[in-house]
Amino acid sequence: MSMIRDLRAAVRPVMPRRAPVRTAAPDPVTGNCVVDCAVYRDGRRQHGCTAPDAAIQDVHTRGDGFVWIGLHEPSADELAGIAERFDLHPLAVEDAVKAHQRPKLERYDDTLFAVFKTVRYVEHEHLTATSEVVETGEIMVFLGRDFVITVRHGLHGGLGELRHRLEENPELLAAGPSSILHAVADRVVDTYLDVTQLLQDDIDDVENEVFGGKGNGDAGRIYQLKRELLELKRAVTPLARPLQILAERPMRQVHPDIREYFRDVEDHLARVSEQIAAFDELLTSILQANLAQVTVAQNEDMRRISAWVAIFAVPTMVAGIYGMNFEHMPELQWKYGYPTVLSVTLSVCLMIHRGFRRNGWL
């Protein structure tokens, strides 16, 4: 009834399930970079044709269906063979090999090339000034009329489980390669939401330390968390424009029934962007508050030091005067001169100490 619920259920089920591992047969040209390769007709995976050559040949011979090839960190030579078979643009191929690209969407003749930044929250027992909180990777998607090629970089963001879930919903795959593009985009953005929720726990801990009376916090930890948030922002913010184009602009490569559901992904991305902006402002405020607390603490220490210096200045001055060895000094020959001078000195010190305590300096 509602296709969007089916799409979201396919890419994010309630109960986690590990997909069976499928490994494509080694190709003499592409080597072992092919994680999986399959032909789909009417949304159902066809048995056999696990090599890219055989798969695309089968699609062209039958004239229906499409092939989905999954690659992991291919070299230039390994990707060159596939690029030649599917007539991929050299600039897009170069980006897919080198990685480290900003999220984007480009069109080369009849092929769409999309780049998504994947993120993963790095678990840690205690946040330090050098903790890695957000780890990034990349997924590139080549989308054509009868093929989709996914290129993954990084140790996380595997698409095997996503492929398995989509195969359990053949009515979704029946919409063609664009259903895979939507599923990848939806999963990537949902991961952003998960990471921001985990980041909020770290931010709450830092905030409690700064404002909860547990100490003045650590500016290094706050700054490191702000840097990791910036890494997440670099993955999220540039993706807004590609999703807007996919949601609003008709394209031959994107099925009309799939195009409108990119709006849902775009809406989720907007939520992530708003959370990141709020986190950034909050961390800035926490950092400023921490620096203000440090400044106040330093001022209090300086006041205490200054007060004690003023107190000890009295006996220092008296000892300096009587240490000049003049013959005619006040009460120098008097029997009670020594204890009297000590008593007066102590009394003056106590009066100064009392005054500083009354004013909050001690």
Query: Which pLDDT belongs to residue 29?
Result: 46
Q: In 246-282, which positions are buried (b, 16+ CB within 10 angstroms) versus exposed (e)?
A: bbeeeeebbbeebbebbebbbebbeebbebbeebeeb
Task: Band the pLDDT of 196: cuts 50, 70, 90.
Answer: very high
Rounded to 10°, the helix 240-248/262-322 angle is 160
Above 70 in pLDDT, residue 8?
A: no
Q: CA 105 to CA 141: how far, in whole Å?
A: 9
Q: What is the DSSP string of 167-233?
A: HT-HHHHTT-HHHHHHHHHHHHHHHHHHHHHHHHHHHHHHHHHHHSSS----HHHHHHHHHHHHHHH
Above 60 in pLDDT, residue 184?
A: yes
Q: CA 161 to CA 192: how far, in whole Å?
A: 18
Domain annotation for the chain: domains and CATH numbers = 3-293 (3.30.460.20), 304-358 (1.20.58)
Question: Residue 97 carries which side chain, given as an amino acid letter?
Answer: V
**3-state DSSP: the chain helix, strand, coil percent, rounded to 5?**
55, 15, 30
Per the CB < 8 A criterion, the answer to whether 279 and 207 are in contact is: no
Q: CA 63 to CA 40: how far, in whole Å?
A: 12
Q: CA 237 to CA 340: how far, in whole Å?
A: 78
**Spatial CA neighbour of 137 closest among 151, 118, 121:** 118
Query: Which pLDDT belongs to residue 336?
Result: 73
Task: Band the pLDDT of 57: cuts 50, 70, 90.
Answer: confident
More confident residue, 114 or 205: 114
Q: What would the pLDDT profile of 145-159 be if each residue is shown by its tens digit?
A: 899 999 999 888 788
Q: Which of 135-144, 190-199, 269-278, 323-332 has the lowest mean pLDDT?
A: 323-332
Q: What would the pLDDT profile of 316-361 be if each residue is shown by its tens digit?
A: 888 877 777 766 676 667 777 777 778 888 888 888 888 878 887 7
Query: Which pLDDT belongs to residue 19?
Result: 38
Above 80 in pLDDT, residue 76?
A: yes
